[in-house]
Amino acid sequence: MKTRYLGLMVMVSAMFFQSCDKLEEIDTPKFEAYVDKHTYTEGDTVRINFVGDVDYITLYTGKPGNDFQFKDKDRYGEIPYYLDFNTHARDGAQQNQMSVLVSRDFNGVYNYNNIVASNWIDITARFKMAPAGYRDYMSSGVKDVKDAIFSGTEDTAHVYFAIRQITKPQNVNGTGNLNRVQNFRIRTQADINADFKDFYPYTSFKFNQKGIFSSPNKQADRAGFEGTNIIVMRNNTTNPNVETQDWTVSEKMAFPRSVNIGPDWGLPVKSINDRRLDYYQVAYNEPGDYRIVILAFNANSVNRKEVVKEIEIKVLPK
């Protein structure tokens, strides 16, 4: 009796495991994908048609961040850099006193003669600057400064920023303004549609007291800081009829060219619980050649069977 019982248990177990094996079996998808045409214009929406029923569909559009060639390797994205600030120019008549400058080769020796003799790139024209007598703060606008930061292909640029005031002789050019620069900061952006994010916020931008210098003929203590984020530069009152300069120079600031943003991820457009998907639409807003890759697969807890479909498209500029 015991032997017969053990034999029965063996048979039941074998049937159970055979049934489990059948449950775990999956079929290779019968799946195709195509587009209506292969050439588009920027801004067009591309319809990707699917033929066949499949448990899962993952899509790679070929766009940055969703590119199949970066599925298993890190992508390094170049970092954009933008500058913005506010200015006002109170109680004066002289125009264009204030300049925004960048230096890649300033040697860090903080004295007036060395600062003036260094090479500085003037980027003032990119920004809106408060005109003479403008008592409210004026926004400069958010402007790209990456070209001024990088000189070549270096991985990290080290530069200095400066604010300069020039007051011309006031007997012939009118009174110099009380100039203020507020909220000077560097920002960046993850992509063209993303919000700006502070890289060097104004609360920690590296202007400091050791970087404030005036020309020897300038009345003392007419340039400095108000609080943590306002640079103030005043005119000469004791010797008003000579040209003077004031400088505020930052510490050396580091700007990496790129950041490791990791591998690209596919876009899951269908899962096993979704009903059959016949197409998916993607807008392409940038010209270029794109390789669309579709991974269609059936899967369970232990097995996966997949087919890969690739489609080449070209997006032309308008």
Query: Does residue 4 lie within any of the structural domains?
Result: no
Does one domain contain both 161 and 293? no
Residues 303 and 25: their CA atoms lie apart, in Å, by: 7
Does one domain contain both 221 and 117? yes
Does one domain contain both 46 and 84? no
Element (DSSP H or E) covering residue 12: helix 2-24
Write out pLDDT tens, residues 91-132.
999 999 999 999 999 999 999 999 999 999 999 999 999 999
Residue 260 in contact with residue 170, Cβ under 8 Å? no
| Full DSSP string of 60-74 | E-SBTTB-GGGSSS-
CATH number, residue 58: 2.60.40.10
Query: Does residue 100 lie within any of the structural domains?
Result: yes
pLDDT at 21: 46
pLDDT at 155: 92
pLDDT at 129: 98
Does one domain contain both 131 and 244? yes
Report the candidate in 279, 295, 298 with the shortest Cα–Cα distance to residue 45: 279
Banded model confidence at residue 235, pLDDT cuts 50, 70, 90: very high
Does one domain contain both 254 and 269? no
Does one domain contain both 115 and 203? yes
Residue 69, domain extent: 24-73+264-316
Query: Does residue 9 lie within any of the structural domains?
Result: no
Does one domain contain both 64 and 100? no
Does one domain contain both 168 and 153? yes
pLDDT at 191: 66
Number of domains the chain is built from: 2
Query: Does residue 212 lie within any of the structural domains?
Result: yes
Query: Does residue 5 lie within any of the structural domains?
Result: no
At 299, is the secondary structure helix, strand, or coil?
strand
Query: Does residue 110 lie within any of the structural domains?
Result: yes
Phi first, then psi: what are they for 270, rounded to 5°?
-150, 140
Does one domain contain both 135 and 50? no
Indicate whether this model's pTM tops 0.95: no
Does one domain contain both 58 and 92? no
Report the candidate in 38, 5, 116, 49 with the shortest Cα–Cα distance to residue 269: 49
126-to-134, 135, 186, 255, 292 alpha-carbon distances in Å: 19, 21, 14, 20, 39
Does one domain contain both 148 and 284? no
Query: Does residue 250 lie within any of the structural domains?
Result: yes
Does one domain contain both 63 and 95? no
The answer on pLDDT for 142 being more than 70 is yes
The answer on pLDDT for 278 being more than 80 is yes
Sole residue written with tokens 């340039």: 223
